[in-house]
Structure 1
Amino acid sequence: MASAALRVAVRQLSQHSRAGAPVLLRQMFEPKSCTYTYLLGDRESREAILIDPVLETATRDAKLVKELGLRLLYAVNTHCHADHITGSGLLRSLLPGCQSVISRLSGAQADLHLEDGQSIHFGRFVSWMLRCARTLYRSVHEKIFTLPGDCLIYPAHDYHGLTVSTVEEEKTLNPRLTLSCEEFIKVMDNLNLPKPQQIDVAVPANMRCGVQTPPS
């Protein structure tokens, strides 16, 4: 059942990624934590990055990178995840030359730390714009209203089987984004979500951000 879900996610995304588009985009799913991993590649230079890889699916992701003839530069963690262990450590072993990346503000180890507002490049493209926690919610709310309505939005997690949305759909149907910016920030600061099931294992491992050197 899990493998079927993975195939569906990738096939659905391929409909949105034209064969001749300069950026190669693939969306992969990990069912236990409902996490999406994104592979972005420059078709010309063959340089690529993976965003939010998961340990259990890192071998699958490395296989896809090789099959597509890409060179993985970075395994990027958007934050220190509490719901899954990052696959960046295993990817560094499977794909030599790949570096793990995370925000310096996370306090986690990595090969490369990014500062607020910094970006990384793969081929001709910029893939990452970092915001510190104090400005994240305001930045998200403000940014969503400056984008074209038909701009596609791909989730980091999904618990309802949805793989893609649009800016217009989110502005119209997302109950949080129909709020004012200040109301949105207040709601996000007081979600009181349940404790993630893997938090006790995931956070200590992810504080190493994939730099998982065995003890001597």
Structure 2
Amino acid sequence: MIFRQLYDSTSSTYTYLLGDSGEALLIDPVYEQVPRDLALLQELGLKLVATLDTHVHADHVTGAWRMHQRCGSRIALSAVANAELVDLPLRHGDHVEFGKRYLTVRATPGHTNGCLTFVLDDKSMAFTGDSLLIRGCGRTDFQQGSPQQLFESVREQILSLPDDCLLYPAHDYRGITVSSVGEEKRFNPRLGGDVDIGDFSGYMNNLNLPHPKLMTVAVPANMRCGQPEGEAPPIETPDWAPLTLRFSGVWEIEPMALLEHASDAQIVDVREAPEFIDRLGHLQGARLMPLSKLMERVDELDKQKPVVAVCRSGARSAQACVLLSKAGFTQVANLAGGMLRWKVEGLPVAAEPV
């Protein structure tokens, strides 16, 4: 099984990808991170069959609708939430399958009335949303929250799992990534140890927290599963050539595409001078700017014109793309596979071996 934990720093949200036999699920996708998630799915060769939100979030907009538009994935959310556009309304005890594996749905209301926890089929991991955080839990003072309900949910549906079951929350504000049932039963200051319902209710009723800054935007949007009001803005994709966004965050251009669009771009070869005329040769019109000197010579490039970075294998040129982007270049791409792949595909070079 493939498992990846992804992070959105703006909202401190974890998104989880689970894959098996070519199929995948995304738990708690974030609207702005859809390009990242699409790139990862493509690189891992996975078909997204569904997105699952643990609840109607108040601090970020879900990427469920956006992923549905791009992948045809089903949108799954608690039936209790009564949100628009949900085509897989989830109830306690349901199974959501991917490949040969599945998640079991457990209703864990209390943070909101529609909170769900997703438990892997072998009970080795559970995705708890905001119902149970690492050494904490979600607040209970809006969206039909209830301390009594949350206490019961966590104790009966999450902390009843095996002690070695790993717990993955929807958020962590300190960068902690995972806990376990055994740990939370012992050390969670709100819900573990000898805490009873009176202790918990007293604690939760006196948090006195301000509402999330994005609540008035996020909740209505998430009741539409992330669909924007009016015409949806397109996913920003460079239009000067067909490019592919890699999970690393670098845009890549295929050799044949660069051959067709070379006249539209500045081609920067970031190898060292001897490599520029070695057996691989170099591209017609390429400018030699070794990576070690690139930032010293960056003013020689036009920020208004696309830049394609080239090296032997694509590794140094990928770093060049990162550096150029930090320097304010907005149209930057890496030649996929570098000169090695260009040569294998039999494309023309400007210099043959000397």
TM-score (norm 2): 0.49
Structure 1 residue ranges without an equivalent (≥5): 1-22
Give the aligned CA root-mean-square deviation in angstroms: 2.3
Q: Deviations over 1:16-35 (max 9, x none)?
A: xxxxxxx2110000011110
Q: Deviations over 1:63-88 (max 9, x none)?
A: 10111111101111111110000011
Q: Give, in angstroms, the shift of residue 214 of structure 1.
A: 4.0
Q: Aligned residue for 2:201?
A: 186
Q: Give, in angstroms, the shift of residue 173 of structure 1.
A: 1.9
Q: What secondary structure, in the 3-state scheme, does the structure 2 residue paired with 1:162 have?
A: coil
Q: Aligned residue for 2:182?
A: 168
Contact 2:151–2:197 (8 Å) recurs in 1: no
Q: Deviations over 1:87-118 (max 9, x none)?
A: 111111222x2111111111211122123332
Q: Whole-Å Cα distance in 1 between the matches of residues 158 and 172 of structure 2?
A: 19
> Identity over the aligned pairs, expressed in percent?
46
Match among 195, 203, 215 for residue 219 of structure 2? 203
Q: Which protein is bigger by CA-based radius of gyration? A: 2
Count of matched residue positions in the alignment of Structure 1 and Structure 2: 190
Q: Aligned residue for 2:330?
A: none
Question: CA distance change for structure 1 residues 153 and 133 in 2, over 3 Å: closer, same or farther?
Answer: closer
Q: Aligned residue for 1:103?
A: 78
Contact 1:103–1:130 (8 Å) recurs in 2: no
Question: CA distance change for structure 1 residues 29 and 199 in 2, over 3 Å: closer, same or farther?
Answer: same
Q: Aligned residue for 2:9?
A: 31
Q: Aligned residue for 1:72?
A: 48
Aligned: 1:147 with 2:161:
yes
Higher helix share goes to which structure? 1
TM-score (norm 1): 0.78
Contact 1:55–1:85 (8 Å) recurs in 2: yes
Structure 2 residue ranges without an equivalent (≥5): 111-148, 232-354
Q: What secondary structure, in the 3-state scheme, does the structure 1 residue paired with 2:95 have?
A: coil
- Greater relative contact order structure (CA < 8 Å, 6+ sep): 1
Q: Give, in angstroms, the shift of residue 212 of structure 1.
A: 4.7
Q: Aligned residue for 1:4?
A: none
Letter in 2 for 1:47: E
Contact 1:38–1:51 (8 Å) recurs in 2: yes
Runs of 4+ in 1 over 6 A off after TM superposition: none
Q: Whole-Å Cα distance in 1 between the matches of residues 13 and 199 of structure 2?
A: 23
Contact 1:119–1:130 (8 Å) recurs in 2: no
Q: Whole-Å Cα distance in 2 between the matches of residues 30 and 199 of structure 1?
A: 17
Letter in 2 for 1:153: L
